[in-house]
Amino acid sequence: MTRTIALLGWLLIISGTSLTEVQAHPTQGSSIAGVEKTGLYLLAGDYRRALETCEQAIQEHPSVEAYVRLTYVYQAIDAYLEQLSKDESWMAVEHLYLNLAYRHTEDLVDPPGGLARMAKEMIQTSVRQQSDVSAAMAVRLNKAASDRLWQEQTQWRLAHPTTWWQAFPDAWVQ
């Protein structure tokens, strides 16, 4: 818990804003603001919004970095599910499923259902497929840049083996 709070504080310090400023006044069109926003969503475990922010970045400014960030979020979901499965935290898997499934208030009266273990398998299959697709798109745009970004994320994963999916690599946020 302390580490999570420290990481959130670190993200806010490097962004130079408060959490309310990030929510109330995001800089439109800024890839840095998008990276910071996605980083906060990863930290909160709000993977639906993290995906949406990455997809919006691709829509507005397609780039190898945008595709690699999207791929990273897909892989973060996969890794988070694996950790929850190892911990047998099936309630948290169900919460993740609901986070990904709910989009609008009408979902409150017609909720998507699903058992946690089935949801895990369905989500992992989908994110692994989408991860492969977005990674291939990044390579097609710029293989050298894609390779460099994946070297950075590999170092990040090695340095943070049980929590890497909670944030982007430090080099991506600078």
Digit-by-digit pLDDT tens for the chain (174 residues) are 334 333 334 333 333 433 333 343 444 445 568 889 999 999 999 999 999 999 999 999 999 999 999 999 999 999 999 999 999 998 888 889 888 887 766 655 555 555 677 888 888 999 999 999 999 999 999 999 999 999 999 999 999 999 999 999 999 987
- Number of domains forming the structure of the chain: 1
Quote the domain boundaries for residue 96.
Answer: 2-173
pLDDT at residue number 6? 37
Q: CB neighbours (10 Å) of residue 79? A: 19
CA distance 112 to 104: 12
What does pTM read for this prediction? 0.65
pLDDT at residue number 33? 82
Q: CB neighbours (10 Å) of residue 165? A: 22
pLDDT at residue number 121? 86
Cα-based distances in Å from 142 to 36, 65, 68, 75, 173: 23, 9, 11, 20, 20
Q: Which residues contact 22 (CB under 8 A, 6 or more apart)?
A: 12, 15, 36, 37, 40
